Chains A and B, each alone.
Chain A
Amino acid sequence: MIALRPTRLDVINESELHAGHRNSPGTGDSHFRILIVSEVFSGKSRIERHRLINDLLKDELAGGIHALALSPLAPGEPLPKG
């Protein structure tokens, strides 16, 4: 993630919220939400932004991460609600 030189990086572990549901690995490190603000995303499409992050997290996504919600923003873009 540091490779993207973020000016803001929030990683929220939501695994507890999903501990009981079907298909959840129940490891406590399975469901994450990431908000990342970086200049790198300027001028890039949504798909390109997600792919940059997905590539960096390739190993984690192939292994323990069951769910990942991403909000990749360029500086100055409005933060998502909620």
Chain B
Amino acid sequence: MASDPVKDTIAKTIADNDVVLFMKGTKQFPQCGFSATAVKILEHLGVPFKDVNVLEDQGIREGIKTFSNWPTIPQLYVKGEFVGGCDIMREMYSAGELHDLICEKGIPHSHQHA
């Protein structure tokens, strides 16, 4: 099978970074409400993350949907595993599960346990 450069790029990005958010815009300047919410959640948890602006790369924008089998942006990956989109992040955050996941995966972050 011929290698797919977009797929390779995505695979490398999620392998090289503990937490990756594929989003519209950047963490400094999100260009979509859902992406903005996702950034806020990660910032609230105090977890460093790599932002990938899909608006800058049409290949990644479509490729990540196929890669994750998920039709919408944003998309969160933790330690190479797909976690979900904005709704799932919000639900997990509210239930404390996102913080638990970050802890379980041993990712350093500044948010302290209550």
Residues of A within 8 A of B (CB): 18, 22-23, 46-47, 50-51, 54, 58, 61-62, 67-71, 80
- Which of B6-14, B45-53, B82-90, B106-114 touches A? B82-90
CB distance from B55 to the nearest CB of A (A): 8
Check B69–A46 contact: CB distance below 8 A.
no
Contacts of B86 in A (CB 8 A): 69
Check B31–A50 contact: CB distance below 8 A.
no
Closest B residue by C-beta to A69: B87
Closest A residue by C-beta to B24: A23
Residues of B within 8 A of A (CB): 24, 31-34, 69-72, 82, 84-88, 91-92
Listed A/B pairs (24) with beta-carbon separation below 8 Å? A18-B33, A22-B31, A23-B24, A23-B31, A23-B32, A46-B84, A46-B91, A50-B70, A50-B85, A50-B87, A51-B69, A54-B70, A54-B71, A54-B72, A58-B71, A61-B71, A61-B72, A62-B71, A67-B32, A67-B33, A67-B72, A69-B34, A69-B86, A69-B87
CB distance from B16 to the nearest CB of A (A): 23
Contacts of A71 in B (CB 8 A): 87
